[in-house]
Chains A and B, each alone.
Chain A
């Protein structure tokens, strides 16, 4: 993390007002463009319970939208051209929250860990450490007595390999989700040949740091036993892909086909190329992520294990710095902690979710785990967030 500048130009009040206006503007646009109606919290309790889907059948897929995306490149009017699939296909079917305010550390690993635990984690973003509080995966397995095969994480990079289970004493090792790292699978299968190097981009937050990726016999066993993929098929398909996130989605879909986990967490990360400062690559990343979200939704709808009983959540882990904050450099980073870098959005769609509704009351990323608990039937006793009643 870079040191905060001590000479920012904009007042905090003005920044938060701007964020609020963005949210309001986005809501108005969505109401007009996508035909959403303004939601009321009075409408929404125990939707999933009333859906008639038995607890055992319920599934949840969470997608973190790619590594920090700003309003103005996504849901603000000028950004909506970058997300045609979300706008055209997904939004009309979704309940949309226009203000998700992240009050924690704006580093991708630690913010994703906070999303997964319902507590603002404070672990070192750059160290290979497990979250300090129990994850949704651990609550899910312990409370519902589910096997390890019923919850998985597909994560982008080296740093995320510990996100499946916490260091919390009564949970921890062996009680959470296994983490699939598609780049490690590919490295193991190909020994990192040049045909695949473009799929192995890692660690955008410090672009110059290019550590060796792991990849071993364990990964090869995962390919064969869990994903039921031969090395040759995997390599052949990987050759058709253009980015690490495409690889992640390919693995996630294979996982859904072979294991059909009830709680699946997919962390996309291509957008974080923004740290290299090339705006076109950042926008390309958003467009790709938009397309991949559409593909995952199609998979959910077409797979008999998932169709009709799955709730999909899509949300960025946080935004990026505002153009107006002199302490940052606009879209490139998320270092200032300004209101726009903290404020983002979330959509939920599928089973138990009202379609075409937008809520602009602030919610927090830490509210996700209690909401997942209410949908799937586990009790995240240590989570600090609140259940989003409009969804559960």
Chain B
């Protein structure tokens, strides 16, 4: 089936708001090439479970496409229309299962050496969309905070190397009460600028006390879900015919309730499920979990404030033991975790800078319980160093 043959009743399996949205725009969708439309439907089908920023983006994208005259719409999709698809792909149920279609499309594009052409078409489309519907600037400048190095006395390698050129390196921080000060700063912003899913705290270990206005996800908090996933995986892997691709499909079909995720509301439950089923390594390494959660939070929720505290991960072991997750404190790799988190902080900053308002955004990374921190902000000197005695609260104030 091709997009031009779309009918309203094909969206009957969609959740209510997603179905309504798809039917509203069915006329526009009929004009899109098959190499593109399932990517959009993958966003639409999850509409009921998306964060406010994502919902707004999807609605604006669809409205913009509908506003384009036919010839302009074709110009937008010219690159995608050049992609050759197989009859097998056309016969897939890409309306009901767009994500599975995209898995197959991806394999097909690689096999037929069309990945580069698809990539070029995607970049061109994204550039056009950004120009036509610029992302909204945040109501206040964004603030990202990373806390790294929990449990490390002395780093084996220099830290903040990738971030140092972009900000000021502080070496005289009084570490007492540092985490509390950071959490207070997040709470203050959440109170002053309340927004659904606007202020986040991600912890790679157990969450510290925090303001209830702040959305919180922790590795420890998801332990029951991780264990449920581990049990499910071990059972499935032993089934005949199971392979990496079949396993991925199975993971994509899980619902939050399958892992006991039913207490944080449908949006957050679904988000947490995807962290564990789509993220690679999030189930076994807390540092990977914290970095990936931050990436997905920034990409999807586009928060005003994000505090990520990395915690030591379990030492590398055979995968079955890692999945079993029975590491005690003696099995933790502190030094390796600091290296992971140091790069994770850099990735957090990169991902924050991809969002609207990047030129006004600020970022702070602190070596937990130590005197070292690095601050990046428009008002803070780049490539500078300060050994002045100070507190994190004061550094944050100087970044505003």
Binding site for B on A (CB under 8 A): 1-12, 78, 103-107, 120, 122, 124, 126-127, 197-198, 200-201, 203, 205-211, 273, 275-281, 283-284, 323-324, 326, 329-333, 336-338
Contact = CB atoms under 8 A, between A and B. Distances in A.
Contacts of A279: 339-340, 343-344
A12 B110 contact: no
A47 to B, nearest CB: 33
A12 to B, nearest CB: 5
A3 B248 CA distance: 12
Contact of A277 (B111, B120, B288): B288
Nearest to B341: A279
A3 B106 contact: yes
Contacts of A4: 106, 109, 115, 118-119, 122
A105 B126 contact: no
A198 B321 CA distance: 10
B243 interface: yes
Contact of B292 (A1, A122, A277, A336): A277
A281 B316 contact: yes
Interface string B275-293: 0000111111101100110
A12 B119 CA distance: 8
B320 interface: yes
B254 interface: no
Contacts of B112: 122
Contacts of A275: 280-281
B245 interface: yes
Residue among A11, A12, A277 facing the most chain B CB atoms (10 A cut-off):
A277
Contact of B283 (A10, A120, A208): A208
Contacts of B115: 4, 337
A122 B107 CA distance: 10
B285 A337 contact: no
Given A200-B318, A203-B244, A330 B347 contact: yes
Contacts of B68: none
A198 B350 contact: no
Contacts of B284: 207, 276
B71 interface: no
Contacts of B327: none
Chain A, interface SS category: loop
B257 interface: no
A329 B295 contact: yes
A184 to B, nearest CB: 16
Contacts of B245: 126
B319 interface: yes
Contact of A333 (B243, B280, B336): B280
B363 to A, nearest CB: 15
A127 to B, nearest CB: 8
Nearest to B234: A210
Contacts of A2: 103, 106
A9 B127 CA distance: 8
Nearest to B346: A323
Nearest to A5: B122
B399 interface: no
Interface in B221-269: 233, 237, 243-245, 247-248, 251
Contact of A208 (B36, B247, B343, B346): B247
Contacts of A276: 280-281, 284-285, 288
Contacts of B282: 277
Contact of B287 (A126, A203, A277): A277
Nearest to A8: B123
Given A3-B102, A198-B318, A326-B354, A278 B122 contact: no
**List of 3 A-B pairs having minimum Cβ-Cβ separation, nearest first:** A277-B288, A276-B281, A277-B281
Contacts of B119: 4, 8, 12, 336-338
Nearest to B100: A3
Contact of B339 (A127, A201, A208, A280): A280
6 contacts: A5-B122, A122-B111, A198-B317, A278-B281, A279-B344, A323-B346
Interface in B313-368: 313, 316-321, 323, 333, 335-337, 339-340, 343-344, 346-347, 350, 354
A269 to B, nearest CB: 14
B109 A278 contact: no
A81 to B, nearest CB: 9
Contacts of B291: 277
Contacts of B347: 323, 329-330
Contacts of A326: 299, 354
